[in-house]
Chains A and B, each alone.
Chain A
Amino acid sequence: MKQIADFTLVGKECYGTSVLLRLRDEQPLPEIVPGQFVQVRVDDSPSTYLRRPISIHDVDVANHEISLLVQMVGEGTRHLGAANVGDQLNLVLPLGNGYTLPTKGERVLLVGGGIGIAPLYYLAKTMALKGVKPTFLLGGKKAADLVRVDAYSSIGETLITTEDGSLGEKGMVTMHSVWQQRQFDKIYVCGPKRMMMAVADIARANNVWCEVSLEHMMACGLGACLCCVEDTVEGNLCVCKEGPVFNTRRLKW
């Protein structure tokens, strides 16, 4: 069941233009599936009227905590990044549909670009609990764009590309040598649309199952306003309600 709740910021870690916010609710959390997102209200920012959709980076059921990895790109997200420990943030959660989890024995690749790596962390943790060992392929323009790499490495093998070669293999995620060397049963993607389309092309060419998480501008986050649509084989669908995770078979790209 979806709910509105005031969470308290109990931890904050800064990584350049990104910030990790650890938020605690007094009440037990609702069930949250990897790939779902929250809508955060941005208070005291006159130019920010609507909530900001942010993917769920991690969940700590025992402590009623969720973590959000936020890249500060505009006024709204900069305001969120400026929150201090002890501040309250009002969230609507959990929203949207998550990723389809793999079955034991399947070889899975989690491809993240830039801040798009955020939801893959909770996805990988959930997979690991089910006995699936994930491999990450994370890409950024430069080393500083890839945050919390150690945390990712502690869950699964972590392959990296950077466009300037400052970390891992030089180039885009689609150019990594792993594509030539190994095969996967399921590919999970989150990142810039162009990068997700390129990965989807590889998956399609190899006839591999692939899910991507779309990021569109949203107003309601509930499937009511019909603002965040993606033109799919089923017509215009709300990314917030029908997604944000889509199997690439449903998309026109």
Chain B
Amino acid sequence: MTIDLGRGLVLRNPVMTASGTFGYGEEYTDFVDLAQLGGIIVKGTTLNPRQGNPYPRMAETPSGMLNCVGLQNKGVPYFINTIYPRIKDFDTNVLLNLSGSTLEDYVRGAEMINTLDKIPAIELNVSCPNVKQGGMAFGVTCAGITQVVSEVRKVYHKHLMVKLSPNVTNIAEIALAAEAAGADSVSLINTLMGMAIDAERRQPKLSMVTGGLSGACVKPVALRMVWQVAKAVKIPVVGLGGISNATDAVEFMLAGASAIEIGTANFIDPAISAKVADGMRDYCERHGFQKVSELIGALEG
């Protein structure tokens, strides 16, 4: 079930948990043996602490949810001093999702994370839709992504995964720019910008009016984008967006993903990530695949 994403990032199976949906892993250890996962991607972290946006930050939608959490986190130094010692010996890959509002913040954060032995990769978040300076400014243009990825690449020497925004006109172009700037892989999709209104009160349901849509409802969009990007780039693609079971995960692999992330589904079934890993193994046995990597891009017709 092993997947090698390159530059030292080897997953024991293709299943990781998406940033912002799995805390620091500690919140889920009653439900999941982390050794059953390929990796966990911990909460989006910025160089300096952020309080995030006011409540309400969440609105339920048909088969999904909107959030405008706004990157609430205690900053990279707090992560290094307080959280990292607690989670560094988890028996899985622990990736850090790094976000920022300025180029300098990204570079400084990446430099600091580079020193942590047990963090094999950064997922560079250039696509948070919920804060004015959430990095999405970098993630929606080829020039922006080229700039941030190439600067981080200079100081970060381990696996650099770049998380792409779906809120663009041509995601393949953005992915190609990330690849050319030195990304080792791309992950997609981050949430889709959306909005919810309470008609009775004639008010927005979210404190920031708009938020990021996730959950089962985004899967067809995510699957299409993964397929487009996988055809365009040579680096591995990590697929996410609405994956709720092993079949969904297999579909993303067939569309060209080398690994997948489980996000919002963790909220509905806290044990889903391990179940998806088991289910993918069953699928491979049932269909006679010797290695799960044989599924990558194996879409027929």
Which residues on A are within 8 Å of B, measured CB to CB?
Answer: 1-4, 41, 46-51, 92, 216-231, 235-236, 241
Contact = CB atoms under 8 A, between A and B. Distances in A.
Nearest to A218: B58
Interface string B246-266: 000000000000000000101
A239 B95 CA distance: 27
A219 B267 contact: yes
B55 A228 contact: yes
Closest 5 A/B residue pairs (Cβ): A224-B23, A227-B58, A2-B30, A220-B267, A222-B27
Per DSSP, chain A at the interface is loop
Contacts of A46: 62-63
A226 B23 CA distance: 9
Interface of B: 20-23, 27-28, 30-31, 43, 51-52, 54-65, 67, 69, 72, 215-216, 264, 266-271
Contacts of A217: 56, 58-60
Per DSSP, chain B at the interface is loop
A29 to B, nearest CB: 15
Contacts of B72: 226, 229, 236
A49 B60 contact: yes
Contacts of A50: 60, 65, 267-268
Contact of A51 (B43, B52, B267): B267
Nearest to A92: B270
A230 B63 CA distance: 26
Given A226-B52, A236-B52, A49 B268 contact: yes
A227 B215 contact: no
A54 to B, nearest CB: 15
Contact of A219 (B23, B27, B52, B65): B65
A226 B57 CA distance: 8
Contacts of B269: 4, 41
A49 B216 contact: yes
Nearest to A216: B55
A48 B64 CA distance: 9
A88 B43 CA distance: 33
B67 A231 contact: no
Contacts of B60: 48-50, 217
Given A225-B21, A225-B58, A4 B266 contact: no
Contacts of A1: 30
Nearest to B72: A226
A229 B27 CA distance: 16
